[in-house]
Amino acid sequence: MTDAGLVLDTACLVAYSGGTEAVGEQIAQVADRRQAVIVPALCLAEAYRRVTTDGWRLLDTLGDLDQVIVTPVEHDMCMFLGGWSRTLGSMDLAQAALEATRATTPIMTDRRELLGEVLPKEWPVIDL
């Protein structure tokens, strides 16, 4: 993997665990370009909270894929996470937005409009 090609938010992870093919297709496309898929740790944790234990297996598998990087929360992110989560209503979505900006990469989400509150309107968003 050379660089990041996509950030997945919580909604994508929940959809993936439920068998939504669009998420898997995006992961495969990014992997074909030899790029990484970023999964923010807070999104992964929130996805585990939301899905039934039946969905955990797919989340476990996703986190183990070579092209997937689960990114932690770092100290230097806390100021942005705190401020953006106030606007976005959740810490996990704030981390997804921040990871997209740090990697300058598209984000896949079902919250395009809400992300427009912290990201430029022209930010590349792939709708779930």
Residues with Cβ within 8 Å of residue 96, at least 6 apart in sequence: 7, 8, 9, 10, 40, 43, 107, 109
Position 65, amino acid:
L
Q: What is the mean pLDDT of each run of 10 residues along the chain (128 residues)?
A: 88 95 95 96 97 90 93 95 95 97 95 94 94
Position 87, amino acid:
T
Place of tokens 């894929």: 65
- pLDDT at residue 2 in the model: 64
pTM, rounded to two decimals: 0.93
Element (H, E) at 1: none
Write the DSSP string, 65-123. STTEEEEPP-GGGHHHHHHHHHHHS-HHHHHHHHHHHHHT--EEES-HHHHTTTS-TTS
- pLDDT at residue 22 in the model: 95
Q: Which domains does the chain have, with CATH numbers?
A: 4-127 (3.40.50.1010)
Q: How many helices (H) and strands (E) does the chain have?
A: 7, 5
